[in-house]
Amino acid sequence: MSNGIKLHERLYRFGTMCVRCEGCTYGYKNADFELVCPIHKKYKFFTYSLGGLVQLGRALYEGRLGLTESVSSVVYSCMSCGACGEMCAEVDYPDIMQLQHELRARLVEAGQVPYELTAVIEGLKKEDNMLGEAKADRGKWAEGLDVKDVTKEKAQVYFHAGCRYSFDKDLWPSVRGAVGLLKKAGVDVGIAGANETCCGGRAYEMGYQAELTKYAENNMELLKTAEIKTVVTACSDCYYAFKVLYDMTGKKGDVEVFHISEYLDRLIKEGRLMPSRNVDMTVTYHDPCHLGRKVEPWLRQKGIEEGQVYEPARSVLKSIPGLKLAEMKRNRANSWCCGAGGGVIDSNPEFTIETAIERIEEAKATGADAMVTACSWCRRAFSDALEASKGTLKVIDYVELVEKAL
């Protein structure tokens, strides 16, 4: 019987199952890269690991610990990348992330949230985006594009840009390019412009569960009103929210959700887009956590073969004439996080940069001319890290390469 915090009984049982083998921290069978967990690599203490969080949750549930600032500092240090879940043999991955989300939700209730994240959520509540920018400016990225507004006219496919892509001007070419590619393929696509709102996914991962519910309901109402059955997004966080989190909370309905990499792969295989121009360069591809291992458990539950989530992006890259793909040693499910997840890019940007630099060095070791990613938050983390370290490696958005080949 619990004398401590409210926590699902199933999640509490993880604490009794953990044998402290530390497989969640030292899981790679690779002489160059042994450590799995970015926070364990930084803080070098068992508490800063999946096993540590599990034991922390158990102690909180049993009333042996309280929701203190010290507990908050540990729980919010995690990037929610999910690498630990690929290694732990004792617990099912979706429940691993659910444990962290529940702990953060209890910290939100107790008012023990890093002030930087509180400021992010205040901006979200005021402006409906994770960057706290004026909501009226959300559609500026699409100015000059001849594209439908789904709040005013019908379209078959809804393109959701996401908060980072909508307000980070450095990334506007990527979403403008994505819409251009869809139109080039003859897709009847529309956007919501200034009426688009946050997906709620990142807020949920920070412990603000009500925000996920609110924005899931807002977005699904928009789709219902517009009679949209297909959603395409270039943001891997939005992809994860629409495809997985909305489904887990019973909000998704019968809408199909695609990341732009998946949809472009389909269009190329259908012959509606045909990369024909030679792109003479070698690239390495970074698998975003929200477009990879965080989606796989959901696919397993749906009876979909594991590993498939990683292949569409690679399939498209391999279809580009002259382009060579050099894989990093840690790829697919074993990809090293960019450092931007779990709110860490806001609460501890220096840690994000440290983590991103490690990935950049791994990319450079492949001999590639550039690192390609399909995530706005990864792109921002890598760009900030390259600026801080005066690095020279190019970081290219996935869409930009496809545009070069058409």
* Mean predicted lDDT score pLDDT of the chain: 91
pLDDT value of position 1: 45
For residue 331, CA distances in Å to 39, 139, 158, 171 come to 19, 34, 30, 24
Average pLDDT over residues 219-236: 97
Task: Check pLDDT > 90 for residue 213.
Answer: yes
Average pLDDT over residues 189-201: 97
Determine the residue type at 245: L
Q: How confident is the model at residue 31 (pLDDT cuts 50, 70, 90)?
A: low
Is 116-266's fold the same as 275-404's?
A: yes
More confident residue, 279 or 309: 279
pLDDT value of position 28: 63
**32-46, 165-179, 314-328, 370-384: lowest mean pLDDT where?**
32-46
Q: What letters, b where the CB count within 10 A reaches 16 and e where it falls short, cover 191-221?
A: bbbbbbbbbbbbbbbbbbbebbbbbbebbbe
Beta-sheet pairing, 281-286 with 370-373: parallel
Tell me the whole-structure pTM to 2 decimals. Answer: 0.95
Give residue limits of the domains in the chain. 9-109, 116-266, 275-404
The pLDDT tens digits of the residues spanning 296-313 come to: 878 777 777 666 789 999
Task: Check pLDDT > 60 for residue 205.
Answer: yes
Task: Check pLDDT > 50 for residue 242.
Answer: yes
**For the chain, percent of residues with pLDDT exceeding 70:** 93
**82-91, 199-208, 341-350, 391-400: lowest mean pLDDT where?**
82-91
CA atoms within a 13 Å half-sphere pointing along the CA-CB vector of 184? 17
Task: Check pLDDT > 90 for residue 280.
Answer: yes
Edge-to-edge strand order for the sheet containing 148-149? Answer: 148-149, 189-191, 157-160, 230-233, 256-259
Judged by DSSP in three states, 232 sits in strand
pLDDT value of position 8: 65
Tell me yes or no: is domain 275-404 CATH 3.30.479: no
Task: Check pLDDT > 90 for residue 353.
Answer: yes
**4-18, 136-150, 244-258, 387-401: lowest mean pLDDT where?**
4-18
Question: Top-level CATH class of 116-266?
Answer: alpha beta
Task: Check pLDDT > 80 for residue 390.
Answer: yes
Nearest to 385 by CA among 363, 358, 404: 358
Determine if residue 377 is left, alpha or beta; phi over 0 gives left, psi from -120 to 50 gives alpha, anything else beta. alpha
**How many residues are recorded in the chain?**
406
